[in-house]
Structures are given as C-alpha cells and as structure tokens.
Structure 1
Amino acid sequence: MDFLLTQEGNVIAFYFCVCLLLYKEGNHVNYSFNNQFDIINSGVNWQMDWKAVTFDLDNTLFSHEEAFKKAIKECFKTFSDKYINEAHEITYEQFFPVFKLNCDRYWDKYESGEVDGKTYRRIRFNETMKDLALPYGNDYADFFHDHYYSIIDEYSKPFEGVHELFEVLTEHGVRIAIVSNGSADTQYNKVKKLGINKWVADEHIFISEEAGVSKPDKEIFKLVEEKLKLPSHDIVFVGDSWEHDVAGPIEAGWEAIFLNTRKEDKPTEHQPAAEFEEFTHLKDELIKMVRERRAL
C-alpha cells in the first residue's frame, strides 16, 4: 500500500510539473469537468474578475434555429393555403431545405450591406420558389415575411437558466450587455420576448443595424467599451459563433467564452477562456464563480 501511494504521488507530481512547464511556455492545457465535455482553458485566468458579461442573442440565449423552423413551417402552411393550388402542392419537408439553402447563400450580401433586409428576404424567398416551380414575386415574398415577423417571437423561448444567471450577475454588480447582428426591430422584439430587458438596459443593447458595424469587426466591440465605460480586459463575450463571438472579441482585446451548442469546428488558433456545449453548464459555472468572488 505504501508503495502504491508513493507511486501515485510521483505520477501526480510529474503531471503537475508538466502542466506548469506548458503554462510557462505559453501553451494551454485544457481539462474537462462535470463529465459533460465542457472545457475550461487553464492557461487563462479563469476567475470571475470581469465587470461586464456581454452576450450574443441568437443560439446563445435561445435556440433561434428551432424558433425559425417552427415559424417558417407555419408561414409556409399559411402561404400554401392561400396561393398554392393542388397541382403545385409541395410539402414543408421539401420546401424548408431549399429555403434554408437560399437563406445561407445570400446572407453575406445582407451582412456586408450590399443589400438591405427587405431585399435579402425577397431574394431568398423568390429564389426558393423559382427552384421549386412555385408562385413567386415581391408581393408574395412580403406577405410571407410579414407573417413570419408577426409570429417569430411566439416561438422564441430562453434557454433554461438564462433568467437565473442574469439575476445573479445583476445582484453581484456585474453588468450585462447584448451584442447582436441583424435588424434592430427584430432583435429588440426578441429581447422583449425572452424577458431579459428586466436586466439589460436599452443603452446596453447593441444591434449591428443601429451601430452601423457588425461582428466580428473590432469597432462594434470598441463601441461597447465606450458605452460601458470599461477597458477591454474587464469584459468577456459569450456566444455560439467562433468567427463572430470568439475570434472577433479576442481580436478586440476581450476574453471570450465559446458556447458551442452546435458542436462546430474551431477554424483559428484563438483561445477562449472556456467552452461549453450547453447553456445550463455555462450558467452553473458562472454563478458558482461570481458567488465565490463575493465571498472573498
């Protein structure tokens, strides 16, 4: 028994030395916890020292993909009942993949400012209907999307634990901000529907359409710093897009937490402070640390 204990102690000591050596040489050692494949990067000072936590919106605080699918399904049914006769009848299962393909295909044109939101929506609808040999035209596209925007909020539900986390952060004096790309009206409506405007002041909601600049451009993060009156090292960004919510903030001098709910690859060498695959695990860890900081 004494031999085994000594041997185990040597292994632990050796492992500690290796980790220390790697840390000193600037490498990052990752370790898992909670048995959920959530990762904390031990090369980063993972302490709740931030004075503000900023969040992306879609697929970070709620599942935009699920809300989008459900709303589009209802819109397609309404449109089909009104404008598509039996001779051209097509199922939602046939329609949605083509529509989503066109959404993604033309998104960069909207995000870069090459086309405005209304034009983007008309293009993605009309190209889809052409592909499927269905009725198309700007009037049809506007009808479809007017209905979409009248119902999308009803399908937007916050992830479990969002309100709890925001309450605890606020109680402990940590400011909260939202930084999101997209249409101002649409994103503000989502904030209201998610019920998070209770904790997030209007002046701390930054939407690309209003800001005139989109993530991952450094300028939108600098704008947030100015409004919050905080330096970059006092702010952390939480989001689901590697390019927009990890690489972008890090390039601006912030730290970032990757909420990898869609299990995406990491195309660059940027090092987030932490990575989680579920919001509840992020929530639990942040609450734990903010309370530990208060106890110090």
Structure 2
Amino acid sequence: MNENQNAVRGIFFDVDDTLYDHLEPLRLALQRVLAMGEDFPYGKLYHRFRYYSDILSAEHGAINAAEAKKDLQDMRVRRAKLALAEFGVQVTDREAARIQDAYLEGQFQIQPFPGAVELIRDLQAAGHVVGLITNGPAEHQMAKIKALAMDSIIAPGQIFISGAVGYDKPDPRLFAYVNEQIGTNAASSYYIGDSWRNDVVGALGAGWTAVWFNHRQVQAETEHQPHYTAADYRELAGILLD
C-alpha cells in the first residue's frame, strides 16, 4: 500500500483459484470421466474453461440466483463443451454433465494456498477489515468456504456471495453493496482475485484498488490496468502489508 498505509482498509479476496487451487478438481474430474493422461495441458484448458464461464454467465445475468438453477447447469455443460472443443476434445451433453458433477465433488476436497491464512490473519491484526466476495450459488460457495475453514477466521458479515446478494461480479453494484454493508468506501477498498474479467475489471469499474492474483501467468484480456499484480501469497503480502 502506498499512501495512508496505516489507514484501515477494506481488503476482500475472491475464493475460486484465489484462496485455493481451482484447477486440481477440474484435472481430477477430466481424468475420472475421460481418462485423460498427465500430459494433457490442463492449465491452458482451465484458463479457457474459466473464460467461457465468465462470458456465458455475463450473457445470462444473475445466473447464480436460486431461481436460475437449470440455466446454471446448462451454462456449466456449455462451458465444458466449448473449452474442450478448443483442444480437439468433443464431448456429449451427458459427458459434460458428468465432468461437472465430478468437478463439483472435488471442490470440497481443497485447502488454502500456502500463506493465505497467515496473510489474512496478519491483515486482521493490522486492523483492516478482511472479507470475501465470490460469484456462485450461496449454498455451494459457502460449502467451499467452510471446506477451506475460512468461516472460522472471517466473520459471516464480511462474506458476500453473489447468489445471495443478487449481483454477480463484475457488476459494480456488488462492490457498492459491500461498501454499504461494511461502512467503507471505494477509495479505501482493495480486491484480490485471479479472474481478469470478474475481479480486475470488476474492481476497477467499482473504483476499488484491483490486485490481480495472476499465479497462472496468463495474459491480460483488455487494456485495463490493475493497480498491482502478484504471482503468490508472498508477493501479495508485500503489497498489502508494506
């Protein structure tokens, strides 16, 4: 942090692929359903998988709302088919649904990235408000948060799930809602996330300080400029605690 380093900040983290490795459940699902080998470019596929997830979700709008369960499942099937097709792998709707089921199951066998818990505790000890903002159905995302044991160190009132709020990232109304509920303002708010479209563009559009957690070393998708970029939690700590 540069100016006013000692001021209290609202510092919020994304969940999927920011607090934990979101690729591993997908890798295991593909190996289980399609018997893919270890030499498949899972990292590149994951990037396209998330790309289609963001694009298709934005096209729908409010796809994580409780009443949109069928649309959400249809989106998940489409993203798998579209992403895999780019790598020459054609799957049926049924196979894509099986991949999704296995992928969801694996998302509860997760642990935080090294340094994540320590950084959150250090930020809290420094007096900052630390929370989570994540896209997804409320019950599903909360189950992952509990699997990571984040609910034991972050207060419930500082956890915001799009399916419960009614706005999905990158909608600036979600970020504004967080400011309103926490009692902070955009100028004092930081957001850390891996998704270019949802996290970087979303935070910038809301007037927040955007910290791109680019641990997969992917390319920017637009001309937007994040305020900071980090590849691991050591670098994040250097940005947020210095």
TM, length-normalised to structure 2: 0.76
Match of 1:186 among 135, 140, 143: 140
Paired residues of 1:50 and 1:174 also in contact (CA < 8 A): yes
Aligned residue in 1 for 2:101: 146
Shift in Å at residue 277 of structure 1? 1.9
Aligned residue in 1 for 2:213: 259
Compared CA separation, residues 258 and 94, structure 1 to 2 (3 A) = closer
Match of 1:58 among 9, 16, 24: 16
For residues 125 and 141 of structure 1, the distance between their equivalents in structure 2, rounded to whole angstroms, comes to 6
TM, length-normalised to structure 1: 0.64
Paired residues of 2:10 and 2:129 also in contact (CA < 8 A): yes
For residues 54 and 185 of structure 1, the distance between their equivalents in structure 2, rounded to whole angstroms, comes to 20
Match of 1:118 among 62, 73, 79: 73
After superposition, give the CA deviation of every residue in 1:59-90 in whole Å (9 maximum; x if it has no partner): 2222212332234323445xxxxxxxxxxxx7
Aligned residue in 2 for 1:224: 178
Residue 123 of structure 1 aligns with an amino acid whose one-letter code is R
Paired residues of 1:52 and 1:176 also in contact (CA < 8 A): yes
Compared CA separation, residues 259 and 96, structure 1 to 2 (3 A) = closer
Shift in Å at residue 202 of structure 1? 2.4
**Is 2:111 aligned against 1:157?**
yes
Task: Tell me the secondary structure at the aligned position of residue 151 of structure 2.
Answer: coil
Match of 1:240 among 186, 191, 194: 194
Aligned residue in 2 for 1:68: 26
Shift in Å at residue 194 of structure 1? 1.6
Shift in Å at residue 224 of structure 1? 0.4
Residue segments in structure 1 that go unaligned for 5+ positions in a row:
1-39, 78-89, 290-296
Task: Tell me the secondary structure at the aligned position of residue 211 of structure 2.
Answer: strand
- Which piece of structure 1 moves more, 107-116 or 223-232? 107-116
Residue 74 of structure 2 aligns with an amino acid whose one-letter code is T
Aligned residue in 1 for 2:66: none
Compared CA separation, residues 46 and 244, structure 1 to 2 (3 A) = farther
1:194-213 alignment, distance < 5 Å: 194-213=148-167
Paired residues of 1:99 and 1:125 also in contact (CA < 8 A): no
Shift in Å at residue 137 of structure 1? 4.7
- Which piece of structure 1 moves more, 214-223 or 230-239? 230-239
1:35-50 alignment, distance < 5 Å: 45=3, 47-50=5-8
For residues 45 and 224 of structure 2, the distance between their equivalents in structure 1, rounded to whole angstroms, comes to 33
Residue segments in structure 2 that go unaligned for 5+ positions in a row:
64-70
Residue 18 of structure 2 aligns with an amino acid whose one-letter code is T
For residues 269 and 125 of structure 1, the distance between their equivalents in structure 2, rounded to whole angstroms, comes to 27
Structure 1 or 2, whichever has the larger Rg, is 1
Compared CA separation, residues 76 and 254, structure 1 to 2 (3 A) = same
Match of 1:173 among 106, 127, 147: 127
The total of aligned residue pairs comes to 229
1:12-51 alignment, distance < 5 Å: 45=3, 47-51=5-9
